[in-house]
C-alpha cells in the first residue's frame, strides 16, 4: 500500500513514505499509547513532532509533525476498512495471526465483486496490532465510526475530535449576533432532532449488523468447520528446510485450527515457507 519513492518529506505538505517509515511511525505512536500519552482527542501536536524527528533521524528525511498526522489518517482509513471486512458474512478473525479468514466460496464471491479487498482477506494484516492500539477505542466511540457505505475518511475529522474540526471550519459556537431571521431558524431542524435521527439510524444499522452476523453464525454452525484439503499434508511435506518433527508439529497446528489450515493452503509457495518458518521459530526457539 506504500508509495515508495525517494522517501523525503518536504515543507509543501507533500510527502512520500516507504514501508519502513510507516512501520517506524506506527511503532512510535503505539509506544506513546502504551505510555498513556494519547488523549481522548488523539495525539498532541508535540507528539507528532517528536515522531517526525524519530523518522528523520532514522531515514535522513525532513518530515513534519503535520505530515505524520496526515499519514496516520491513511492507516486509520485502512483500519476502518479492516473492521468493516471483519463483519462480512462468514468471516472469522484469527487473533493469533491477525487475519480475516473466509472459506473459499465466500472469498471468491466477495473478491469477484471487490478485487481491492483481496489484500485484506486470508492473509496476515500488516501492523494490525499497532493500528488496534492506536485507533481501537476511538474507532468505536468517537467520530471515527463509519457506515459501511460511507467513503473512507474525510480530511480534518480523522485524528482530532470533531470539536477541533468545528473550530477550524468555522462551525463552532459564535459570540456574535445571529444573521439568520426567525423564519430561517424555524425552518431548520433542531439539534435534538438531528441527534435523535442519528441515534435512530445508528440503532437500525446496529440491529442490521447483528442480524447479518447471527445469520452467518447459524450457517457456520450448520456447516462443519473442520474440513481441510485432502492434499494439505502432502503440500506441507514438500516444503524444503524442515525436518519431519517440524512438519508434523505444524500439521497438528493446522488440524487444530482448520480455518488457518485452509488459509495456509491458498497461500503462494513463498508465503507458506514464511508461515512455517515463523511458527517453528516461535515454538522451537534457538533452532
Q: Where do the domains of the chain lie? A: 19-141, 232-283
| Span 61-90, average pLDDT | 95
**pLDDT above 90: percentage of residues in the chain:** 45
Distance CA(101)–CA(276), nearest Å, equals 18
Q: In the chain, at which residue ranges do the beta strands (DSSP E only) sit? A: 92-94, 99-101
Alpha carbon distance 163, 113 (integer Å): 38
3-state DSSP call for residue 116? Answer: helix
**Which pLDDT score is estimated for 47?**
96
* In the block, residue with C-alpha cell 506513546: 32
Q: How confident is the model at residue 191 (pLDDT cuts 50, 70, 90)?
A: low
Cα 242 to chain center, whole Å? Answer: 33
**Residue 209, pLDDT score:** 67
User: How confident is the model over 252-272, as a mean pLDDT?
Assistant: 90
β-bridge partners, 270: none
- Mean pLDDT value of segment 8-32: 83
Give the distance between the most distant pair of CA atoms in the chain: 83
Average pLDDT over residues 58-64: 95
Residue in the structure block whose three cell numbers are 485507533: 135
Three-state SS at 169: helix
Between the ranges 23-37, 243-257, 264-278, where is the mean pLDDT highest?
23-37
Per-residue pLDDT reduced to its tens digit, 215-240 = 776 665 555 667 889 899 999 998 99
Angle in degrees, 0-180, between the axes of helices 19-34 and 45-59, rounded to the nearest 10: 140
More confident residue, 124 or 216: 124
Highest average pLDDT, of 9-18, 98-107, 193-202, 273-282, comes from 98-107
Is the per-residue pLDDT at 186 higher than 60?
no
**Residue 233 in contact with residue 249, Cβ under 8 Å?**
no
Q: How far is CA 142 from CA 7, 161, 194, in A?
A: 33, 8, 17
**Does residue 30 register a pLDDT over 70?**
yes
pLDDT, position 263: 92
Rounded to two decimals, the pTM is: 0.49
pLDDT score of 241: 85
Q: Which three cell numbers stand for residue 77?
A: 482509513
Secondary structure class of 92 (helix, strand, coil): strand
Instruction: Give the DSSP H or E segment for 16.
Output: none
pLDDT at 222: 57
Say whether pLDDT at 144 is over 50: no
Closest among 219, 248, 227 to 236, alpha carbons compared: 248
Confidence at residue 9, expressed as pLDDT on a 0 to 100 scale: 54
Q: Which helix (H) or strand (E) covers residue 166, if one does?
A: helix 162-169
Is the pLDDT at 177 greater than 50? The verdict is: no
- Please give the mean pLDDT across all residues of the chain: 77
Amino acid at each position: 500500500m506504500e508509495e515508495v519513492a525517494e522517501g523525503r518529506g518536504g515543507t509543501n505538505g507533500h510527502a512520500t513514505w516507504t514501508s519502513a517509515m510507516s512501520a517506524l511511525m506506527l511503532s512510535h505512536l503505539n509506544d506513546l499509547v502504551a505510555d498513556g500519552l494519547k488523549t481522548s482527542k488523539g495525539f498532541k501536536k508535540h507528539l507528532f513532532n517528536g515522531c517526525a524527528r524519530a523518522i528523520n533521524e532514522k531515514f535522513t528525511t525532513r518530515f513534519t509533525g503535520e505530515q505524520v498526522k496526515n499519514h496516520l489518517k491513511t492507516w486509520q482509513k485502512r483500519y476502518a476498512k479492516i473492521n468493516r471486512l471483519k463483519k462480512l458474512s462468514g468471516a472469522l478473525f484469527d487473533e493469533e495471526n491477525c487475519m480475516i479468514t473466509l472459506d473459499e466460496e465466500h472469498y471468491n464471491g466477495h473478491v469477484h465483486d471487490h478485487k481491492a479487498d483481496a489484500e485484506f482477506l486470508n492473509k496476515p494484516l500488516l501492523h494490525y496490532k499497532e493500528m488496534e492500539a492506536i485507533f481501537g477505542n476511538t474507532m468505536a466511540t468517537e467520530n471515527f465510526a463509519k457506515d459501511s457505505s460511507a467513503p473512507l475518511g474525510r480530511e480534518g475529522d480523522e485524528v482530532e475530535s470533531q470539536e477541533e474540526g468545528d473550530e477550524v471550519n468555522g462551525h463552532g459556537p459564535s459570540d456574535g449576533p445571529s444573521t439568520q431571521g426567525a423564519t430561517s431558524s424555524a425552518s431548520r431542524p433542531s439539534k435534538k432532532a438531528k441527534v435523535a435521527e442519528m441515534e435512530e439510524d445508528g440503532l437500525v444499522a446496529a440491529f442490521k449488523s447483528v442480524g447479518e452476523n447471527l445469520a452467518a453464525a447459524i450457517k457456520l454452525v450448520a456447516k462443519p468447520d473442520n474440513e481441510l484439503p485432502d492434499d494439505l499434508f502432502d503440500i506441507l511435506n514438500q516444503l524444503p528446510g524442515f525436518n519431519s518433527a517440524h512438519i508434523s508439529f505444524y500439521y497438528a497446528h493446522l488440524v487444530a485450527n482448520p480455518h488457518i489450515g485452509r488459509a495456509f493452503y491458498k497461500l503462494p509457495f513463498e508465503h507458506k515457507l514464511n508461515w512455517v518458518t515463523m511458527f517453528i521459530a516461535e515454538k522451537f526457539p534457538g533452532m
